[in-house]
Protein backbone atom coordinates (compact mmCIF):
# COMPACT_ATOMS: atom_id res chain seq x y z
CA UNK A 1 0.00 0.00 0.00
CA UNK A 2 1.25 3.49 -0.88
CA UNK A 3 -0.24 6.57 0.77
CA UNK A 4 0.45 9.92 -0.90
CA UNK A 5 -2.77 11.84 -0.28
CA UNK A 6 -2.83 12.71 3.42
CA UNK A 7 -4.56 15.46 5.37
CA UNK A 8 -2.98 17.52 8.11
CA UNK A 9 -4.93 18.06 11.35
CA UNK A 10 -4.24 21.21 13.36
CA UNK A 11 -4.44 21.30 17.18
CA UNK A 12 -4.25 24.43 19.33
CA UNK A 13 -2.56 24.04 22.73
CA UNK A 14 -2.24 20.23 22.42
CA UNK A 15 -2.02 18.55 25.85
CA UNK A 16 -2.12 22.02 27.44
CA UNK A 17 0.87 23.12 25.38
CA UNK A 18 1.35 26.38 23.50
CA UNK A 19 0.55 27.42 19.95
CA UNK A 20 -0.37 25.11 17.10
CA UNK A 21 0.62 21.49 16.43
CA UNK A 22 0.17 20.13 12.90
CA UNK A 23 -0.19 16.34 12.59
CA UNK A 24 0.00 14.51 9.27
CA UNK A 25 -0.88 10.86 9.84
CA UNK A 26 1.38 8.81 7.57
CA UNK A 27 -0.64 5.60 7.91
CA UNK A 28 -4.35 5.17 8.59
CA UNK A 29 -5.76 3.42 11.64
CA UNK A 30 -6.66 0.48 9.36
CA UNK A 31 -2.95 -0.06 8.69
CA UNK A 32 -1.82 0.44 12.29
CA UNK A 33 -4.32 -1.29 14.54
CA UNK A 34 -3.97 -3.13 16.84
CA UNK A 35 -0.17 -2.68 17.11
CA UNK A 36 0.03 1.11 16.92
CA UNK A 37 -2.17 4.13 17.57
CA UNK A 38 -0.31 6.66 15.45
CA UNK A 39 2.52 7.03 12.94
CA UNK A 40 2.76 10.67 11.91
CA UNK A 41 4.85 13.63 10.85
CA UNK A 42 4.39 16.35 13.47
CA UNK A 43 5.22 20.02 12.99
CA UNK A 44 5.37 22.54 15.84
CA UNK A 45 5.36 26.21 14.90
CA UNK A 46 8.07 28.43 16.39
CA UNK A 47 7.36 28.73 20.13
CA UNK A 48 4.72 25.98 20.09
CA UNK A 49 4.70 22.94 22.36
CA UNK A 50 2.93 19.71 23.18
CA UNK A 51 2.40 19.84 26.92
CA UNK A 52 3.64 17.22 29.33
CA UNK A 53 1.40 14.16 29.13
CA UNK A 54 1.55 10.55 30.31
CA UNK A 55 1.42 7.27 28.44
CA UNK A 56 -0.52 4.79 30.56
CA UNK A 57 -1.42 2.15 27.96
CA UNK A 58 1.05 2.90 25.19
CA UNK A 59 4.59 4.14 24.47
CA UNK A 60 5.81 6.84 22.09
CA UNK A 61 8.94 7.59 20.10
CA UNK A 62 9.97 10.86 18.43
CA UNK A 63 12.58 11.15 15.68
CA UNK A 64 13.62 14.76 15.12
CA UNK A 65 13.91 15.71 11.43
CA UNK A 66 14.36 19.49 11.68
CA UNK A 67 14.65 22.20 14.30
CA UNK A 68 15.58 22.53 17.96
CA UNK A 69 13.50 21.23 20.85
CA UNK A 70 13.36 21.31 24.60
CA UNK A 71 12.22 17.78 25.43
CA UNK A 72 11.00 16.82 28.91
CA UNK A 73 11.44 13.13 29.75
CA UNK A 74 9.96 12.19 33.14
CA UNK A 75 10.89 15.61 34.53
CA UNK A 76 14.39 15.80 33.00
CA UNK A 77 14.93 18.35 30.22
CA UNK A 78 17.04 17.71 27.11
CA UNK A 79 17.91 19.88 24.12
CA UNK A 80 17.28 17.95 20.89
CA UNK A 81 18.24 18.63 17.29
CA UNK A 82 17.90 16.76 13.99
CA UNK A 83 18.81 13.08 14.30
CA UNK A 84 17.81 12.72 17.96
CA UNK A 85 15.45 9.88 18.84
CA UNK A 86 13.39 9.58 22.03
CA UNK A 87 11.37 6.79 23.61
CA UNK A 88 8.74 7.22 26.31
CA UNK A 89 7.78 3.86 27.73
CA UNK A 90 4.41 2.83 29.11
CA UNK A 91 3.84 4.48 32.49
CA UNK A 92 6.11 7.46 31.73
CA UNK A 93 5.49 11.07 30.70
CA UNK A 94 6.99 13.60 28.31
CA UNK A 95 6.49 16.92 26.50
CA UNK A 96 8.23 18.83 23.72
CA UNK A 97 8.65 22.51 22.85
CA UNK A 98 10.04 24.22 19.76
CA UNK A 99 12.79 26.52 21.06
CA UNK A 100 14.33 27.21 17.66
CA UNK A 101 13.76 29.81 14.96
CA UNK A 102 12.24 27.42 12.41
CA UNK A 103 9.45 24.85 12.54
CA UNK A 104 10.23 21.74 14.61
CA UNK A 105 9.45 18.64 12.53
CA UNK A 106 9.54 15.09 13.87
CA UNK A 107 8.12 11.62 13.30
CA UNK A 108 5.94 10.30 16.12
CA UNK A 109 5.10 6.64 16.62
CA UNK A 110 2.67 5.51 19.34
CA UNK A 111 2.73 1.78 20.09
CA UNK A 112 -0.15 0.07 21.89
CA UNK A 113 0.46 -2.23 24.85
Strands ordered across the beta sheet of 85-88: 8-12, 20-25, 36-44, 104-112, 58-66, 85-88
Residue 5 has pLDDT above 80, yes or no: no
**pLDDT tens, position by position, 61-86:** 999 999 999 999 999 999 999 999 99
Residue 49 has pLDDT above 70, yes or no: yes
CATH architecture of 8-112: Sandwich (2.60)
**What is the rounded distance in angstroms from the CA atom of residue 61 to the CA atom of residue 2?**
23
Classify residue 83 as exposed, middle or buried by CB count within 10 Å of its CB (0-12, 13-18, 19+). exposed
**Which pLDDT score is estimated for 1?**
63
Residue 21 has pLDDT above 70, yes or no: yes
**What is the rounded distance in angstroms from the CA atom of residue 49 to the CA atom of residue 39?**
19
Q: pTM for the full model?
A: 0.94
Amino acid sequence: MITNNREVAHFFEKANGKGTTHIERLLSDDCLQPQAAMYAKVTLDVGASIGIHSHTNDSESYYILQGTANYTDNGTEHKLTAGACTYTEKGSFHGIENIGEEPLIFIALILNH
